[in-house]
Amino acid sequence: NKHILQFAVEDWWISDFESFFNEVPAKLYIEALEDSVLLGIDKQVLETLYQRIPKFEHFFRVKVTKAFVALRSRILSSLQKSAKERYIEFCETYPDIEKRLANYQIANYLGLKPESLSRIRKELV
């Protein structure tokens, strides 16, 4: 069983932050659904960049903070909102990728069965 936790669209960063910062084996994996540009960076190299280029530390802190806020928002959404509300929120968060994903991928991300997602889409049309 695969569970989709996040989609990263153009100019977004994605990582298994727990693995990176705690230097432990990853519990998550990242799958590119389209051609992508990837950047891999070693933690020690990152620390060196922080020391040599302070603006880079600020940049990375902003990226990590945004990722944390997005993850928290996603967790709260899954706990508090109906399936229909989660789908609408998905469309607002990822307006350009719905047509680029398979129905089952969106359903998996929302914690739904593909049939349920189809029903929600029909209701909204």
pLDDT tens digits, one per residue of 48-74: 999 999 999 999 899 889 888 988 998
90 within domain boundaries: yes
Q: Which helix (H) or strand (E) holds 37?
A: none
Residue 3 forms part of a structural domain: no
Mean pLDDT, the chain, rounded, equals: 90
User: Distance (Å, rounded) from C-alpha 20 to C-alpha 50?
Assistant: 16
C-alpha separations of 65 from 13, 57, 62, 68 in Å: 12, 12, 5, 5
What pLDDT digit, counting tens, does each position of 5-36 carry?
888 888 788 888 889 889 999 998 888 888 88
Q: Look up the pTM and report it.
A: 0.81
Domain-located, residue 58: yes
Instruction: Count how many domains the chain has.
Output: 1
Query: Residue 22 falls within a domain, yes or no?
Result: yes
Q: Do the domain assignments include residue 9?
A: no
Find all residues with CB under 8 Å of 37, minimum gap 6, and list them: none
Is residue 43, in this structure, part of any structural domain at all? yes
Give me the domain span that covers residue 37: 17-124
Residue 8 within a domain: no
